[in-house]
């Protein structure tokens, strides 16, 4: 059960409700988001007389939620959530494409990448300064300086930036460097301490699906972030592990409508890490948009053969531009804008 409080209900009203719930034998979790404060009642709520709580000041709505993920579930909020990313909207009727290189390399590379991303019509940019690599001997990312390079390049085109956070100790640095969207990568989808920390801030978070995670595990991970008070979560399907070796991962297109049914939060798709080859990216991107994705996260590099990371799957600037035109056609057919 969740109790949705009036916008900006004072702490005293929240405390009264918490005490009442505890006296009824359940535990509480208060999630203070920017738009709404939600009190979660956890435990045996079957015998709670909701009328006794509904009458208390500050209560807007009481919703009995059967799913284990409460705040992120569609039961808690029927309408699609639109997330504001430093003025750029993600969700609703829009389809947003986030373009950019796998990793930040040099200022020149980021300047060229930002121009290409803006020129293709993308409104958001990606790039990793800290890279989760399978081998400790592979390039690990340029680190903190990369955040400044990224910011400098992207701000010339008013592109909010998306970058991966791997270590909780870097969160303050990300905030100081005005990262607009924090990406939690596939390898950290169940790093619960990391999820709890990003739950304490209000920056939008892209939560990638763990490479072998079920939909319900993924939803529960998002709930960790939401329970802390950060309701600005974007799911990102990036392909899952299977027996198949002909491509990097299997893009789980089925996950798109399933998630859209289960959650009110936006769902985007990363076709680059799914296919693992640039030539597969257009087909997978089109399938994702047709299936109802709210956006795409596409790796693109000014000169793919020279990329320091994931060179095989990066689109070049012209390929990105061409793909955007095709995607716009698909979006329009299904009544969306891109
Ligand atoms: C990435 O986006 O560059 C990345 C490492 O993705 P994933 O976590 O999906 O592998
Ligand atoms: Mn990559």
Nearest in space to 233 (alpha carbons), one of 42, 73, 7: 73
In our burial notation (b when 16+ CB lie closer than 10 A, e otherwise), range 236-254 reads bbbbbeeeeeeebbebbbe
Distance 69 CA to ligand 1 centre (A): 25
Residue tagged 């690990």 (tokens): 140
Which superfamily does CATH assign the domain made up of 83-333 to? Aldolase class I (3.20.20.70)
Distance 185 CA to ligand 1 centre (A): 5
Q: Which ligand has the nearest atom to the CA of 270?
A: 1
Domains in the chain: boundaries? 2-64, 83-333
CATH T-level assignment (fold) for domain 2-64: Alpha-Beta Plaits (3.30.70)
- 2-64 shares its CATH topology with 83-333: no
Alpha helices in the chain (DSSP H): 11-23, 50-54, 107-120, 144-155, 171-176, 192-199, 215-227, 255-262, 271-275, 281-290, 317-333
Cα 327-328-334 angle, rounded to 5 deg: 90
**Pocket probe mutation, ligand 1, options 135, 138, 161, 164, max atoms within 8 Å of Cβ:** 164
Q: How far apart are CA 288 and CA 253, in angstroms?
A: 6
Nearest CA residue ID for atom 8, ligand 1: 185
Q: Against a cut of 0.95, is the pTM above it?
A: yes
Nearest CA residue ID for atom 10, ligand 1: 186
Q: Which ligand has the nearest atom to the CA of 312?
A: 2
Q: What pLDDT tens digit does each residue of the chain (338 aa) get?
A: 999 998 889 999 999 999 999 999 999 999 999 888 999 999 999 889 999 999 999 999 999 998 999 999 999 999 999 999 999 999 999 999 999 999 999 999 999 999 999 999 999 999 999 999 999 999 999 999 999 999 999 999 999 999 999 999 999 999 999 999 999 999 999 999 999 999 999 999 999 999 999 999 999 999 999 999 999 999 999 999 999 999 999 999 999 999 999 999 999 999 999 999 999 999 999 999 999 999 999 999 999 999 999 999 999 999 999 999 999 999 999 999 99
């Amino acid at each position: 059960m969740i109790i949705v409080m009036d916008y900006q209900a004072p702490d005293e009203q929240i405390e009264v409700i918490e005490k009442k719930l505890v006296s009824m034998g359940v535990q509480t979790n208060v999630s203070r988001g920017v738009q709404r404060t939600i009190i979660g009642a956890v435990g045996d709520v079957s015998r709670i007389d909701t009328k006794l709580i509904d009458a208390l000041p500050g209560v807007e709505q009481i919703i009995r939620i059967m799913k284990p993920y409460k705040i992120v579930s569609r039961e808690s909020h029927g309408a699609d959530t639109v997330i504001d990313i430093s003025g750029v909207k993600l969700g609703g009727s829009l389809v947003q494409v986030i373009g950019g290189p796998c990793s930040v390399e040099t200022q020149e590379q980021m300047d060229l990448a930002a121009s290409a991303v803006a020129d293709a019509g993308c409104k958001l940019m990606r790039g990793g300064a800290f890279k989760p690599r399978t081998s400790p001997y592979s390039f690990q990312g340029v680190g903190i300086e990369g955040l400044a390079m990224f910011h400098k390049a992207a701000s010339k085109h008013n592109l909010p930036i998306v970058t991966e956070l791997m270590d909780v100790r870097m969160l303050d640095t990300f905030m100081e460097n005005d990262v607009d969207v924090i990406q939690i990568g596939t390898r950290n989808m169940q790093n619960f301490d990391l999820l709890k920390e990003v739950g304490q801030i209000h920056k939008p978070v892209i939560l990638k699906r763990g490479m072998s995670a079920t939909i319900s595990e993924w939803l529960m991970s998002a709930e960790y972030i939401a329970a802390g008070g950060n309701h600005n979560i974007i799911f990102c399907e990036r392909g899952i592990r299977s027996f198949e070796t002909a491509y990097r991962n299997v893009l789980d297109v089925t996950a798109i409508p399933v998630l859209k049914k289960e959650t009110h939060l936006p769902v985007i798709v990363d076709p680059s890490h799914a296919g693992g080859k640039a030539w597969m990216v257009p087909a997978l991107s089109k399938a994702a948009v047709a299936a109802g994705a709210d956006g795409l996260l596409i790796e693109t590099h000014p000169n793919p053969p020279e990329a320091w990371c994931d060179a095989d799957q990066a689109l070049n600037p012209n390929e990105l531009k061409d793909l955007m035109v095709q995607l716009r056609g698909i979006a329009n057919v299904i009544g969306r804008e891109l």
